[in-house]
């Protein structure tokens, strides 16, 4: 196996539409309807709803599996929520930062990022302020290694309302109304492809046998291989 050590992890939420018209993926993420959730007016109410919706799924350049968001949460007035108001997941162990932060998706309107902290290609927020808006949330354990505090950080993605367009050149998952910034992530989190399959997926078809492929196998290792029968095979 040929591996390359890299210094960062490129993780982002991602809009446009990349369906699977040929039905190549046999087990895509199930379709879910947009659902109106509760209306909240205080930070305690919002914290309760975020904690209730938190799945804390692992998320990195090498993970896959459906990543749905919560129901729509409607905020009336202005509500500020800090990461310290949320419960740190039990799966956040010794190699995990003991602090919850937020990441605001471009499709989320009426949300202000407070106490910004730069991580690789995104900004983490120590707290957020929401003003008369509707959002969804998705809680993940984000792979950010190498870092000074360990391999993972608990992060709450603040997403746009279910019916909000993704915007820009992001890829839309029609099944669960989420947005992804790359073909690879759309493949992994919407089409439910494996890491090996998504390394050879172009957005329309698999690369031909013999095509070179690369994929993250951990937060800071990339393996090189060859596409065979729609999957990246590492020599």
Which tens digits make up the pLDDT trace of 59-86?
Answer: 999 999 999 999 999 999 999 999 999 9
**Whole-structure pTM over 0.85, yes or no?**
yes
pLDDT band at 9 (very low <50, low <70, confident <90, very high): very low
Residue 187 CA to residue 198 CA, distance in Å, equals 6
pLDDT at 216: 95
pLDDT at 122: 93
User: How high is the mean pLDDT of the chain?
Assistant: 90
**Tens digits of residue pLDDT in 165-217:** 998 899 999 999 999 999 999 999 999 999 999 999 999 999 999 999 999 99
């Amino acid at each position: 196996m040929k591996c390359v050590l890299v210094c960062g992890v490129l993780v982002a939420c991602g809009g446009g539409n990349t369906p699977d018209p040929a039905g190549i993926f046999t087990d895509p993420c199930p379709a879910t309807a947009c659902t109106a959730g509760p209306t909240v007016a205080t930070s305690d109410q919002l914290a309760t709803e975020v904690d209730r919706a938190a799945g804390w799924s692992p998320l990195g350049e090498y993970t896959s599996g459906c990543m749905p968001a919560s129901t729509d949460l409607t905020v009336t007035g202005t509500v500020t929520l800090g990461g310290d108001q949320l419960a740190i997941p039990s799966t956040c162990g010794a190699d995990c930062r003991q602090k919850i932060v937020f990441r605001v998706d471009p499709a989320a309107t009426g949300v202000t990022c407070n106490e910004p902290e730069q991580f690789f290609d995104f900004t983490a927020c120590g707290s957020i302020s929401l003003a008369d808006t509707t959002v969804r949330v998705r809680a993940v354990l984000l792979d950010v290694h190498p870092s000074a505090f360990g391999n993972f950080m608990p992060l709450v993605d603040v997403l746009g309302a279910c019916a909000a367009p993704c915007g820009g050149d992001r890829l839309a998952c029609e099944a669960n109304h989420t947005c992804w910034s790359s073909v690879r992530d759309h493949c992994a989190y919407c089409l439910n492809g494996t890491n090996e399959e998504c390394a050879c997926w172009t957005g329309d078809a698999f690369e031909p046998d013999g095509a070179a492929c690369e994929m993250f196998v951990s937060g800071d290792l990339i393996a090189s291989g060859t596409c065979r029968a729609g999957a990246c095979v590492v020599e």
